[in-house]
Amino acid sequence: MRYLALALVLLTGCATVPAPPLPTTAPCNFGLALVNASLWVQLASEYDASAIQTYNAARRAVDASVVAGGEKPLAVILDVDETVVDNTAFEGRMVRKGITYDKTDWQQWVSESRAKAIPGAAEFLAHARARGVTPFFITNRDVSEEPATRKNLETLGYPLGTAEDTLLTKGEREEWNTSDKSGRREWVASRYRVAAVLGDDLNDFIDAHSASQQERDALVARNAAEWGSRWFILPNPMYGSWESPILEGTKECTALQKKIEALDR
Ligand SMILES: [Mg+2]
């Protein structure tokens, strides 16, 4: 009888191991969600390799466009944050405060002009310039943040236009007072042949602000031919528009709970 009971315990134990229930309230330190992602970008050699790989591929696209020739001059379009500059030091500040983002803290960080270079970016930009290709930076940093951003990019040795403004911030023109970067991309494309677009967010390539999770996947799939040929994406595991369909407008602890639940989808 004792053996039968033991066998039953073993059998039921082996049949299904129920997953531990999700905590009903997430640990209320939302900032901790950033630790692994920020460390990976900041310290992992694998991150450096990914960025260099992306920039090397973009360099080949630039070279091919130079050889192909054309009427309009050549340009490349680059996002700024987590594309050419690394803001992990800001993320570290957020982790220490137990949050993921604070507008005032962000403005303070931007004003310091201390963001570091993304590996491969400086070499790519120098190569483009040497080939007569104009880099345009399209960023959703606000126009009020343009001087500090310009200073940061110059400190890193990135080429900024002298003949014309090549740092296109949000709100710099009335029609550019939107997070949708399409208008600014079209403005560049109306005057230049765009050899490559580089970014860390889907919105750096195509507007996906109101897209659902399924629609985002469909946008990526529909543009499969662009990835690695004209569009080049860098990894950003810390933040991005990919979070919006998961979070559905929630913040902090509720948002963390939503993310934990999303792992089951
Ligand atoms: Mg970015």
Q: What residues have their beta carbon closer than 5 A to ion ligand 1?
A: 79, 81-82, 200
Does 1 fall in a domain? no
How many whole angstroms from 138 Cα to the centroid of ligand 1?
9
User: What residues of the chain score a pLDDT lower than 70?
Assistant: 1-27
- Residue 195 located in a structural domain: yes
**Could you read off the pLDDT of 169-202 as tens digits, one per residue?**
999 999 999 999 999 999 999 999 999 999 999 9
Assigned domain for 11 exists: no
Could you read off the pLDDT of 14-48 as tens digits, one per residue?
Answer: 456 666 555 555 457 888 889 999 999 999 999 99
This prediction has a pTM of 0.89
Instruction: Say how many Å lie between the CA of residue 84 and the centre of ligand 1.
Output: 8
83 alpha carbon to ligand 1 midpoint, in Å? 6
Report the C-alpha gap between 242 and 249 in whole angstroms: 13
Which residue segment(s) compose the domain that 223 sits in? 30-262
User: Is 10 inside a domain boundary?
Assistant: no
The answer to whether position 9 is within a domain reads no
Residue 23 resides in a domain: no
Q: Is residue 248 part of a domain?
A: yes
CA of 140 to the centre of ligand 1 (A): 8
Query: Residue 158 is part of a domain; what is its CATH number?
Result: 3.40.50.1000
Task: Give the total number of structural domains in the chain.
Answer: 1
Query: Kind and range of the H or E element at 51?
Result: helix 45-68
Classify residue 16: in a domain, yes or no.
no
Sign of dihedral through CA atoms 184, 186, 189, 191? Answer: negative
Residue 135 contacts residue 79 (beta carbons within 8 Å) = no
